[in-house]
Amino acid sequence: MTRRGSGRLAAGLVSPTLVVLALVVAYPVISAVRLAFYRREDGIDPETGLIRAGERFVGLDNFAEMFGGDSTGRFLDALANTTTFTLAGVSLEVVLGVLMALVMHRAFRGRALVRASILVPWAVPTAIAGLLWRWVFQADGVANDLLPGPPVLWTTDGFQAWVAVVVADTWKTAPFIGLLVLAGLQVIPNEIHEAARLDGATGWRAFFSITLPLVKPTLLVAVLFRVLDTLRMFDLPYTLIGPGKEATDTVTVLAFEEAVTFGRFGPASAYAVTLFAYVAVVAFVFVRLLGADVLGSRR
């Protein structure tokens, strides 16, 4: 077979995949972007009270409202929450996740049990985790019983609600980082550790000079996944704290409220598109600056 012939064959073979991708990825994204420039008619016929049907093109109005209109305050709040959740949550998760991985990597009796139990939070659906933590954080819940001092109203609007979400998110997703880092640890040959020990490296030194650098590629990919995931956090603030709270609303919560509760798909799409752009920029910067090897091209 000639080279051109095999090229055509290859194109033919991947075309079903391309069609599927176009249908489930390209079309919805383009459609959502288009919607961000439209708004539903909401005028009411004064005689019958019926809503006039249809939608109209509003240009950049939906975005203007976010960046300099009535919803600016809420949007900037949500953007700040989204960002701080990501920074605080992912930092905590990395530290705890690496610790978990080190524990799971050790050979000791009952290791299988520890591994399984560390992974349980990751297996719990996030919305359910949110409800469980709501139970923990309610006014007469476990959290207030364990903590000294007067009861904290965790689920009311304020910094404490933000803390509650970070705690629940860390509990839920540190195992994910632990799992990926564990996989990274397991491919480090034992000889390297033994050689380091022979050279006199112990404890911290061995961890920071040997283990961490070798596990870094895996860790970076895990962190990238978590950052992208946390930037679109929805379930925890929504189920644990409830929508409409200044301290915990994320951009996704606002988009959900606009689309599903108010039926205003234009502004909702504007939120979603903005978040999409934000996530894309963060991912790009992450890959460029930290050199996360997402596609495995450097192997």
Among 129, 136, 255, 270, contact with other proteins (rule: CB under 8 A): 255
Angle 212-231/72-105 helices, nearest 10 degrees?
150
First-to-last CA distance in the chain? 31
Residue with smaller CB distance to other proteins, 14 or 29 = 29
Instruction: Examine residue 164 and tell whether it contacts other proteins (CB under 8 A).
Output: no
Tokens of 97: 């996740």
Which amino acid, 31? S
20, 55, 202, 284: residue in contact with other proteins (rule CB under 8 A):
55
Q: Give whichever of 98 and 254 is closer to other proteins, judged by the CB atom.
A: 254
Q: Is 35 in the site for other proteins (CB under 8 A)?
A: yes
Residues 169-188 that bind other proteins (CB under 8 A): none
Q: What is the DSSP string of 117-152?
A: HHHHHHHS-HHHHHHHHHHHHSTTSHHHHHS-SSPP
| Contact with other proteins (CB under 8 A) among 15, 72, 84, 156 | 156
User: Which residues in 189-218 contact other proteins (CB under 8 A)?
Assistant: none
Return the H-helix or E-strand segment holding 56: strand 55-57
Q: Which of residues 99-118 bind other proteins (CB under 8 A)?
A: none
Q: Yes or no: say if 188 and 145 are a contact pair by the CB < 8 Å rule.
A: no
Burial of 201-231, coded b for 16+ CB within 10 Å and e otherwise, reads beeeebeeebbeebbbbbbbbbbbbbbebbb
Contact stretch for other proteins (CB under 8 A) within 9-17, 87-95, 156-164, 208-216: 156-164
Structure tokens at 193: 């550790």
Task: Closer to other proteins by CB, 220 or 255: give it.
Answer: 255
Q: Which of 103, 196, 279, 287 binds other proteins (CB under 8 A)?
A: 279
Locus of tokens 């997703």: 173
Using CB under 8 A, which of the segments 36-44, 111-119, 184-192, 209-217 binds other proteins?
36-44
Q: What does the DSSP 8-state code read for residue 219? A: H
Specify whether the CB–CB gap between 254 and 275 falls below 8 A. no
Applying CB under 8 A, does 268 fall inside the site for other proteins? yes
Among 1, 3, 5, 47, contact with other proteins (rule: CB under 8 A): 47
Binding residues (CB under 8 A) for other proteins: these are 24-25, 27-29, 31-32, 35, 40, 42, 44-45, 47-51, 53-55, 138-140, 151, 153, 155-158, 224-229, 231-232, 242-245, 252, 255, 257, 259-263, 265, 268-269, 272, 275-276, 279, 283
